[in-house]
Structure 1
Amino acid sequence: MVDSAGSVSAPPRQLIIVSGLSGSGKSVALRTLEDLGYYCVDNLPAALIPALVEAGTPGQLAVGVDVRNHAEQRDKLPKVLGELARLGVAYRLVFLDARDDVLIKRYAETRRRHPLSEQGLSLAEALAEERRLLRPLVALADRVVDTSTLNVHQLRRLVITEMDLAPGSVTLLCESFAYRHGVPPEADFMFDARQLPNPHWEAALRPLSGKDAPVREWLGARPEVVAYADDIHGFLQRWLRGFDASGRGYLTICIGCTGGRHRSVYLAECLAERLRGEYGQVLTYHRELA
C-alpha cells in the first residue's frame, strides 16, 4: 500500500472478521476487540473490506460481517479474502454459533427482532434460514465458537485469551459483582467491599452507580474507602509481577459488595485507572450493570 506521500505503508498487523448468527455474541466480541485497541466496523459490506484496509486506518482492524450483508456481498467474501492475502494482510475469520434454543431464549430476554423477521418468518424459521445463508462463511472460518454456554463475561474472556488477541504483558479484567447474586467463578483475586460506607442509603445516590460523578465524589471523600483502594492496589502491585513474569496471559480481579452497583463498581473503576499506568491492557466489567 502507498500513502499520499508516495511511501509504502505497512498493512494492519491483524484483521479480525467477526461473523455468526444473530444473538450469538458478535456485538460483545466486537466491543471486546475495541477495548483491546482494534478499530471496529460492524455490518460492513464484504466488498469494502479491502478498501478499509487500504485507507490506512492505523493499528489493528476488526469488521463484522453477517446476514445483514446482502447475498451478493456475502458471496464476494472468498474473493475478498484472496485480495487481503494479496495485500499482505494477516486476517482471521471467527464465526460465532449457538444452539437454536439458546438463541430463542436470548431473543425472548432482550425482545430484539431478528434481522430476517421482516420477511414474515417466525423466529425459528428465521434462524433456520440464517443458518442456511451463512453456511458458506462457516466453511471459510478459521475458528467456530459455540457460545451456547457462555455469558457475556465468559465470551469476553475467551476473545481475549483463547484467541491470543491481547498484545504485550498480562491482560487484567477488573470486575464488580453483587455477593447476593453469587461470586464470579472465574475470579483470580477477590476483594470484599461490604464493610465500606454504602451510598445505597443516600436517597439521591441510590439510583446511580459507581460510575456516576456524585457517587464517585461521595465515596472518594470517605477515608476508609480511599485506604481500602490503596491497600488493594498495593497488594496487586506486589503480587501481579509474579504472574506477569510467569507468562500468564489473563487475570480477573473481582470486587464485590451487596448490590454490585456502588462500592464495587467505584473500586473496580478506580483500580483499573491506576493499573492502566502499569499494564498494557486493563478492562472493566460490571456484572450487575450489564
Structure 2
Amino acid sequence: MSDWFKLQIVSGMSGSGKTIALHTLEDMGYYCIDNLPISLLVSVADHLINEPEAIFRKTAVGIDARSQSSQLSTLPDMVEDIRNSGLDCKMLFLDTKAETLIKRFSETRRKHPLTNEQRSLAEAIRYERELLAPVIEAADLRIDTTHTNLHELRDLVRHRIGGEEGKVSILFESFGFKHGLPRDVDFVFDARCLPNPYWQEELRAYNGMQAPVADYLSAHQEVTSMLSDMIDFLARWIPAFEADGRSYLTIAVGCTGGQHRSVFLVERLSQHFAEAGLHVMSRHREL
C-alpha cells in the first residue's frame, strides 16, 4: 500500500513562502502538518506505511530551522531511510536572497524566529542558512522566491508538484544576465549572441511573447538554428534524466535584459515539449 502514498516535505528560509506552499498543497488535497519536529518524521512515515488511511494518501509536512540543529543534520539520512522503506518521499526547499528577506520582514514587521537580543535580523538569516545547509543539499526541488509573488509561487507549487506520476516536471525560465543568473537550474543557455530586438526602436516596447518581436526573431536564421539545436539537445537528454528517476528539471535561457530573445526561446521550447506530451511550465523572471 505504501507505494500509493506520498510524503512531501516542505522546508526553506523563514519568509520564503513555506506557509503559502503548504496552503497550496492543502488545496491540492494534501493533509498538511506545519512545523513538525524532525524527531517525529519517521513516526509519520511509519504510520503512512503500516497504517495507511485514505485521508493521509498525500501528506505534506513543514520542517524549518526551529528544529534543533543536530536534528537538521540528520534529515537527509532520515529521508533516504524513508525512501528505502518504499514510501514516495520528496523534499521541496524554498530559498530567497538575504536582502529580499530583510525587506519582507521589515515591511511586515514580523519577527524572525532566530532573532534575539544578541542576534540581528541579518545575522539570523545567515545563521538560518548555515543550519539549513544539509536540507538545501538534500532537496529534490528548490524554488527561488526572490522575484516571486504570492500568486506565482502558488502556480509554481501546483505545476511542479502536481504533475503526472512518473513524468519529469520541466520548468523553462527566461532571465536577463544583467540581473544575475537564476539559482538552482540544471541547464543554462545563453542567447546574447542572437540579433537583439532592443536595438530596433519600434520593437523596444514589446517583449518576446508578442507578435512584433516574435516575427522579427523568427525571420533570422541564427535564431531558428539555435532553437533547433536546443530542442535536439533537450530531446536527447530529458529522457535520460527521466530514466534516472529525476522528478524536476529546470532549464534557463538568458539574454541581456530578459525581455526579448530569452522570452521568445522559452515560449517556443515550452510549446514544443508540451506538444510532445511532457509536463511543462514556463516562467519569465524579468517580465
Runs of 5+ consecutive residues of structure 1 not aligned to the other structure: 1-12, 42-59, 67-84, 115-122, 129-144
Aligned length: 204
Matched, 1:152 2:150: no
Partner of 1:189: 187
Cα RMSD (Å) of the superposition? 4.8
Once the two structures are TM-superposed, the CA of residue 271 in structure 1 deviates from its matched residue by: 0.3
**Is this contact kept in 2: 1:161–1:249, CA < 8 A?**
no
Question: 1:136-171 CA distances to partner (integer Å, 9 max, x unpaired)?
Answer: xxxxxxxxx99xx97327997x95899796622222
Partner of 2:272: 274
| 1-structure distance, mates of 2:6, 2:174 | 31
Change (3 A) 1:282 1:90: same
**Is this contact kept in 2: 1:160–1:166, CA < 8 A?**
no
Which of 259-268 and 163-172 deviates more? 163-172
Change (3 A) 1:98 1:246: closer
Question: 1:228-259 CA distances to partner (integer Å, 9 max, x unpaired)?
Answer: 21121112112222222222222221211111
Runs of 5+ consecutive residues of structure 2 not aligned to the other structure: 35-51, 67-97, 114-134, 137-141
Letter in 1 for 2:21: A
Task: Map 1:159-238 onto structure 2 (within 5 A).
Answer: 167-238=165-236
Partner of 1:133: none
SS in 2 for 1:208: coil
TM-score, L = length of structure 1: 0.52
Partner of 2:82: none
Change (3 A) 1:63 1:229: farther
Q: Which has the larger radius of gyration?
A: 1
Task: Map 1:1-290 onto structure 2 (within 5 A).
Answer: 23-25=15-17, 29=21, 60-61=28-29, 88=55, 90-95=57-62, 105-106=103-104, 108=106, 114=108, 123-124=109-110, 151-152=144-145, 167-289=165-287
**Is this contact kept in 2: 1:15–1:61, CA < 8 A?**
no
| 1-structure distance, mates of 2:282, 2:20 | 13
Partner of 1:52: none
Change (3 A) 1:206 1:217: same
| 2-structure distance, mates of 1:153, 1:103 | 8
| 2-structure distance, mates of 1:281, 1:27 | 25
**Is this contact kept in 2: 1:161–1:250, CA < 8 A?**
no
| 2-structure distance, mates of 1:64, 1:209 | 39
| 2-structure distance, mates of 1:247, 1:150 | 19
Letter in 1 for 2:180: G
| 1-structure distance, mates of 2:102, 2:262 | 33
TM-score, L = length of structure 2: 0.53
| 1-structure distance, mates of 2:163, 2:270 | 20
**Is this contact kept in 1: 2:30–2:56, CA < 8 A?**
no
- Stretches (4+) displaced over 6 A: 13-16, 62-66, 96-102, 153-156, 160-165
